[in-house]
A and B are shown apart, each in its own frame.
Chain A
């Protein structure tokens, strides 16, 4: 059975303007809309398209986090994943962020060993921590190829040809399978979930594995000691026309 494992992280919705707690201990999540990390939606969409083209038989959505992350996995099932696995960590707000990338990759490796996927597709970063690490660490631990920041994926036989968005432009790599891919923005546009699919998703299997049952070392090696707002830029002046703008830039020696 050719499987694709997709990572699904529960994050504060991208459209929410985050607010910090007054004591600097974190961000306010009470009553805040939570969603699938947008890059993970792209990862799932790519996996579904590969399956629909006959390149895979089964798509498994995996999340690591609190029990609440079942909501995001149900959405992933409604989008079209065949089954889901939640590795359940401690409860509470911020539980997802408390799992460091190295720990997340170690947990994913356990599932990779169990499921033997052809591909693991993850988002290139989560929009909460902005770490951009887990896929690369997993590839290192698994000793398999990585193709990060993918904007095009073509499977052929035992390998994949992946176009990556890099600073210089577009880079193309050929990687043997199995491999780890991480998705960039322009890989695809994720599909919308339809109501009948949400009903169907309720019947799809969602396995909950307590983290302790996996027997992996996930002790934190770092600790966030403080959250602060970024320095704010001051609003400047409005100019009336192009001539005034050029004069102002001249005066500051900028042109």
Chain B
């Protein structure tokens, strides 16, 4: 039987929704026992949220002041010590999981399957390669411990309603001091989180300036949507890096994605393939974004977007 350890992502107070998606991914293995590990300075609040996820059999907490910030070099040895009795160790394919899980894999000498889209058996997985232009099916050799990151856009979050027991763990690990947290620029915003928002309004190079990009925020606020951006818009300085959607940015699956002034480079389309409905607004009728859009509108965004705002207001 598979025993799956999932590493919870959190900010010290709230469980990241990516964790609940990992639980759904793990549930594809019938009969698997799912344990969630919460490593934190004080794991109490996050552990309670983790225990309430349906499908979780057990929550392990590791309380340590060194775990206040998610430093891979500090967390990985603790996770490797916890992982001894587990067949699979999973984390979300967010920047947290992408940074941490390979370090765990290195300590365990285990192969990692990145961006898991589907678990077909305890040793068979599907994942995207070449910016999502091919999907591969990968087998891991039998009897080998497996580390994985879960492509969160491929799974819905596990429901609540669980009531798993919470136990404190004290993994035997020497923690390094060679890596120190300095700061994080948490762009606080009242808008929904880009990775979990039901609606996303995303802007591209055609916004032409940071000033022009403000149109995106105005429209997003009318819709209760999160704001995203193409790589071109971020590179040009119109939008901050955490808004980037695509192969090397965030991969999202909202119900509604509105791409404005985005041509639709392959790398961008990779990030929105799982969106339920895609709307594209672009002045170039030949833009590749129209090939994947459910609704396309050709025209000048500087006229269309304010008009949309009025119609939606």
Most buried by B among A125, A145, A149, A184: A145
CB neighbours of B128 from chain A (8 A): 130, 230
Is A41 positioned at the interface, with any CB of B under 8 Å from its CB? no
CB neighbours of A244 from chain B (8 A): 297
Identify which of A69-77, A195-203, A247-255 touches chain B: A247-255
Q: Nearest-CB distance from B14 to chain A (Å)?
A: 12
Q: Are B293 and A245 in contact (CB under 8 A)?
A: no
CB neighbours of B109 from chain A (8 A): 102
Given the interface pairs A132-B114, A233-B278, the reply to whether A169 lies near B297 with Cβ below 8 Å is no
Q: Which of A144-200 contact B (CB under 8 A)?
A: 144-149, 151, 161, 164-176, 179, 184-186
Q: Are A255 and B256 in contact (CB under 8 A)?
A: yes
Interface positions of A (Cβ within 8 A of B)? 12, 17-18, 20, 27, 100-102, 105, 124-125, 127-141, 143-149, 151, 161, 164-176, 179, 184-186, 220-230, 233, 235-246, 248-249, 252, 254-255
Classify the interface of chain B: helix, strand, loop or mixed: mixed
Q: Are A169 and B242 in contact (CB under 8 A)?
A: yes
Nearest-CB residue, chain A, relative to B182: A172
Q: Are B308 and A136 in contact (CB under 8 A)?
A: no
Q: Are B95 and A149 in contact (CB under 8 A)?
A: yes
> B272-313: contact bitstring with A at CB < 8 Å (1 yes, 0 no)?
010001110000000000111111111100001001100110
Q: CA A242 – CA B184 in complex, angstroms? A: 39
Given the interface pairs A127-B130, A169-B186, the reply to whether A185 lies near B277 with Cβ below 8 Å is no
CB neighbours of A149 from chain B (8 A): 95, 98-99
Is B52 positioned at the interface, with any CB of A under 8 Å from its CB? no
Given the interface pairs A133-B105, A186-B235, the reply to whether A124 lies near B290 with Cβ below 8 Å is no
Is B45 positioned at the interface, with any CB of A under 8 Å from its CB? no
Is B113 positioned at the interface, with any CB of A under 8 Å from its CB? yes
Contact residues on B (Cβ < 8 Å of other chain), bracket:
35 or more
Q: Are A226 and B179 in contact (CB under 8 A)?
A: no
Is B131 positioned at the interface, with any CB of A under 8 Å from its CB? yes
CB neighbours of B105 from chain A (8 A): 102, 133, 136-137, 140
The 6 closest A-B pairs by CB, nearest first: A140-B106, A136-B102, A236-B294, A137-B106, A133-B102, A172-B182
> B259-275: contact bitstring with A at CB < 8 Å (1 yes, 0 no)?
00000001000000100
Given the interface pairs A127-B130, A235-B292, A248-B295, the reply to whether A222 lies near B140 with Cβ below 8 Å is yes
Q: Are A225 and B179 in contact (CB under 8 A)?
A: no
Q: Are B312 and A246 in contact (CB under 8 A)?
A: yes
Q: Are B182 and A125 in contact (CB under 8 A)?
A: no
Q: List 25 A-B contacts (CB under 8 A).
A: A18-B134, A102-B106, A102-B112, A131-B112, A133-B102, A136-B105, A137-B112, A139-B72, A149-B99, A168-B185, A168-B242, A169-B185, A169-B187, A170-B241, A172-B182, A173-B179, A175-B180, A176-B179, A185-B231, A227-B134, A228-B135, A233-B292, A236-B278, A236-B293, A241-B304
CB neighbours of A144 from chain B (8 A): 178
Is B28 positioned at the interface, with any CB of A under 8 Å from its CB? no
Is B137 positioned at the interface, with any CB of A under 8 Å from its CB? yes
Nearest-CB residue, chain B, relative to A137: B106
Q: CA A229 – CA B185 in complex, angstroms? A: 39
CB neighbours of B278 from chain A (8 A): 233, 236
